[in-house]
């Protein structure tokens, strides 16, 4: 059951990132979008290694 809580938390975090990414892209803010993707990749890598 603990894994399910962790998965749900990850999904919520992912959704927040995707919302920010979508807003940046809607505003043609490519630099912010790139930073968000970079941050998401780094966080995901850390989660995998944990």
3: tokens are 């894994």
| Count of helices and strands (H, E) across the chain | 2, 0
Residue 33 has pLDDT above 80, yes or no: yes
Q: Give dist(CA 3, CA 41) in Å, integer.
A: 21
**What is residue 37's predicted lDDT score, i.e. its pLDDT?**
96
Cut 0.75: pTM above it: yes
**What is residue 10's predicted lDDT score, i.e. its pLDDT?**
87
User: If pLDDT is split at 50, 70 and 90, which confidence band does 50 have?
Assistant: confident
Whether residue 5 contacts residue 13, with contact meaning beta carbons closer than 8 Å, is answered with no
Q: Give dist(CA 46, CA 17) in Å, integer.
A: 16
């Amino acid at each position: 059951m603990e894994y399910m809580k962790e998965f749900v938390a990850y999904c919520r975090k992912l959704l927040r990132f995707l919302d920010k990414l979508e807003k940046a892209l809607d505003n043609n803010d490519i630099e912010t979008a790139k930073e968000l993707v970079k941050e998401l990749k780094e966080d995901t890598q850390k989660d995998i290694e944990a």
